[in-house]
């Protein structure tokens, strides 16, 4: 985006799915906990809530709309935050399965990985001796054999299927090549400006989380999209708050949440999603930026409005 100051949108990724083992009791997985933490994050200053679902009993990642339904309505009743439903959530399921929740509930926003990639978190398997659920250790350890699939055909299917719903995509770009993928998709008419790009940094298989890489991603996006995009940063693990702080001073928006990091500071687990939101909000405001309300976020991103969702 052009160099002009605007209000900073905070997105909170409330509950992890494909790459967040439940190694913290703060990470919500039940319907009640997801609803409660999402509302608390909104009250702390998040204008967008990025949501995955999990099986209420086993904690396993789920793309079943029935696992979204119990908390979506509660969140909408309690807050005016924008709901952003993941189209990820699984390294093995088809794009048809992964877009079903967004289509079922006609969300205002949904995430969209802009390419296929190695997506691994297997080093975590060596860091823990105990696991909350039986499926987690093998799931994490075997992720070194996984590819997250989003081919051009997959992306086109998602875009055309969801187009009648007026959904705005959060285009998750894990490396610079994903920006070129997105430009190609815009050129053939799949997505319309203003687009919303999430620079995803620090995931094994994607670009590293450092300032040089952020500048490179930003400069490339400027070259490809000019004034036709808005952007945010998602930095995994310990890079979450430092990179978000830097991005906010570059005119970008920020994403925090327990999906991306279980910690609030080095070696200290976060108590909740809201704690992370409150921390980055305090930093951003101390540095002279204003936080966008949900309605301001809707205006900035050209969203359709909560009244046009199906939940």
Exposure string of 59-95, with b = 16+ CB inside 10 Å and e = fewer, is bbbbbebebbbebbebbeeebebbbbbbbbbbbeeeb
Position 142 in a domain: yes
Position 3 in a domain: no
| Cα 146 to Cα 4, 89, 120, 142, 307, distances in angstroms | 40, 13, 7, 8, 38
Position 113 in a domain: yes
- Burial class of residue 116, CB neighbours in 10 A (0-12, 13-18, 19+): middle
pLDDT at 118: 93
Closest among 135, 105, 120, 167 to 303, alpha carbons compared: 167
- pLDDT above 70: residue 1: no
Tens digit of pLDDT for each residue in 111-125?
Answer: 999 999 998 888 888
Position 210 in a domain: yes
Cα-Cα-Cα-Cα dihedral sign, residues 299, 226, 260, 95:
positive
Position 35 in a domain: yes
**Is this structure's pTM higher than 0.85?**
yes
Mean pLDDT of 58-85: 96
**How many separate domains does the chain show?**
1
Cα-Cα-Cα-Cα dihedral sign, residues 31, 107, 40, 76:
negative
pLDDT at 283: 98
Q: What is the DSSP letter of 26?
A: T
Q: What count of Cα atoms within 13 Å lies in the side-chain half-sphere of residue 160?
A: 10
Tens digit of pLDDT for each residue in 247-297?
Answer: 999 999 999 999 999 999 999 999 999 999 999 999 999 999 999 999 999
CATH number at residue 103: 3.20.20.70
Closest among 208, 154, 211 to 181, alpha carbons compared: 154
Q: Which alpha helices (DSSP H) does 26-135 contain, by range?
A: 31-44, 65-78, 95-98, 100-105
Q: Which domain holds residue 149?
A: 10-308
d(CA 207, CA 227): 24
Position 165 in a domain: yes
Position 234 in a domain: yes
Position 5 in a domain: no
pLDDT at 21: 55
Q: Which alpha helices (DSSP H) does the chain contain, by range?
A: 31-44, 65-78, 95-98, 100-105, 136-141, 152-162, 176-187, 211-225, 240-249, 273-286, 294-301
Interhelix angle 152-162/176-187, rounded to 10 degrees, is 50
């Amino acid at each position: 985006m052009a160099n002009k100051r605007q209000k900073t949108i905070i997105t909170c990724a409330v509950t992890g799915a494909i790459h967040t083992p439940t190694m913290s009791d703060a990470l919500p997985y039940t319907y009640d906990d997801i609803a409660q933490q999402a509302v608390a994050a909104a009250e702390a200053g998040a204008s967008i809530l990025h949501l995955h679902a999990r099986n209420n009993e086993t904690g396993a990642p789920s793309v079943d709309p029935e696992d979204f339904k119990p908390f979506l309505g509660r969140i909408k009743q309690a807050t005016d935050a924008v709901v952003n439903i993941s189209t990820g959530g699984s390294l093995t399921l088809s794009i048809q399965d992964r877009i079903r929740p967004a289509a079922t509930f006609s969300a205002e926003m949904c995430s969209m990985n802009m390419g296929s990639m190695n997506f691994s978190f297997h080093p975590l398997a060596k860091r823990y001796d105990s696991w909350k659920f039986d499926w987690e250790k093998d799931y994490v350890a075997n992720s070194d054999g996984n590819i997250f699939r989003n081919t051009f055909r997959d992306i086109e299917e998602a875009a055309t299927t969801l187009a009648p719903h007026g959904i705005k995509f959060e285009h998750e770009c894990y490396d610079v090549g994903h920006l070129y993928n997105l430009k190609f998709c815009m050129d053939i008419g799949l997505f319309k400006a203003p687009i919303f790009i999430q620079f995803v940094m620090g995931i094994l298989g994607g670009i590293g989380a450092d300032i040089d890489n952020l500048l490179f991603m930003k400069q490339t996006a400027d070259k490809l999209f000019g004034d036709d995009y808005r952007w945010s940063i998602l930095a995994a693990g310990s890079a979450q708050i430092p990179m978000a702080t830097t991005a906010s001073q570059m005119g970008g928006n920020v994403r925090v949440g327990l999906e991306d990091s279980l910690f609030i500071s080095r070696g200290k687990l976060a108590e909740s999603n809201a704690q992370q939101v409150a921390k980055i909000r305090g930093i951003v405001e101390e540095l002279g930026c204003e936080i966008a309300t949900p309605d301001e976020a809707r205006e900035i991103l050209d969203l359709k409005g909560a009244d046009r969702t199906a939940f």
